[in-house]
């Protein structure tokens, strides 16, 4: 007899009261994907939306550092209830990895992602921001498949290599019929680039604001992201 995994059907129920799911993704390291995801969630919460942030980057989870989230852990109540950090419901793989890299491969990563998606109780949210695994790999494709209605926000930088990878990755998302909300160029020089929807200039003060959400929201990075968000339908 074939065993049928019930978790994919459970995921739909867990996300049933989430109005929109925004998958923040990028295809190179060090481009600001996680800072973008975490800051977007904070901006949405500050505006009064019910916002959640789910760090699913198994190899390099860092949203807990950006938020300054220490000494917290989800409550267990018919699943896991994410703790609230600065107005944002927050779930991360680091809650289970003791802030260490997770040595998983292939099917084990997919299984862990399905498990986290199936056990997390988000409740009512206006926006759930997903900090995606980098690239288009099994982990990223599994999230898109099981979440189903995710909208992609792509982050890149002003680099020939980054933009080449970006173009190829976006083409794949189009073939998969995954909606792409916006392409944001981080650390921008201000020069217009084909395919980019919005620009965030380099912010020298950003590094010192990491781990301090109130300070992070006052950075020019946050202001530029807020303007960019307005262009793709988020009035923040």
Among left, alpha and beta (phi > 0; psi -120 to 50; other), residue 29 is beta
Q: Which domains does the chain have, with CATH numbers?
A: 7-231 (3.40.50.300)
- How many angstroms separate the CA atoms of 174 and 177, rounded? 5
Residue closest to 155 by CA, chosen among 137, 171, 135, 139? 135
- Distance, C-alpha 93 to centroid of its chain: 13
Residue closest to 32 by CA, chosen among 214, 233, 219? 219
Query: Given this model, what pLDDT does residue 1 score?
Result: 47
**Within 13 A of 35's CA, how many CA atoms are on the CB side?**
26
| Radius of gyration, alpha carbons of the chain | 17
Burial class (CB in 10 A: 0-12, 13-18, 19+), 26: buried
- Element housing 155 (H / E): strand 151-156
Query: Given this model, what pLDDT does residue 187 score?
Result: 92
Going from the first residue of the chain to its last (236 residues), give the mean pLDDT of each consecutive group of 10, the final group possibly shorter. Answer: 70 92 86 95 96 89 93 88 96 80 71 89 96 80 85 90 82 86 88 84 94 97 92 70
pTM passes above 0.75: yes
């Amino acid at each position: 007899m074939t065993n049928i995994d019930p978790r994919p059907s459970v995921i739909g129920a867990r996300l049933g009261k989430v109005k929109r799911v925004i998958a923040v993704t990028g295809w190179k390291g060090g481009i600001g994907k996680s800072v973008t995801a975490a800051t977007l969630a904070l901006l949405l919460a500050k505006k009064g939306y019910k916002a959640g942030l789910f760090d699913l980057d198994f190899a390099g989870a860092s949203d807990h550092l950006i938020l300054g989230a220490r000494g917290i852990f989800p409550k267990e109540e018919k699943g896991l209830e994410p703790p609230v950090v600065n107005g944002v419901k927050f779930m991360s793989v680091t809650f289970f990895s003791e802030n260490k890299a997770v040595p998983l491969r292939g099917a084990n990563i997919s299984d862990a992602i399905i498990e986290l998606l199936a056990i997390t109780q988000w409740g009512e949210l206006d926006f759930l921001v997903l900090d995606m695994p980098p690239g288009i790999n099994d982990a990223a494709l599994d999230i898109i498949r099981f979440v189903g209605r995710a909208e992609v926000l792509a982050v890149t930088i002003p680099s020939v290599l980054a933009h080449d990878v970006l173009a190829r990755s976006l083409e794949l998302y189009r073939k998969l019929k995954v909606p792409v909300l916006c392409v944001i160029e981080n650390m921008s020089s201000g020069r217009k680039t084909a395919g980019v929807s919005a620009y965030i200039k380099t912010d020298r003060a950003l590094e010192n604001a990491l781990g301090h959400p109130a300070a992070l929201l006052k950075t020019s990075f946050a202001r530029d992201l807020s303007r960019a968000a307005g262009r793709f339908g988020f009035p923040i």
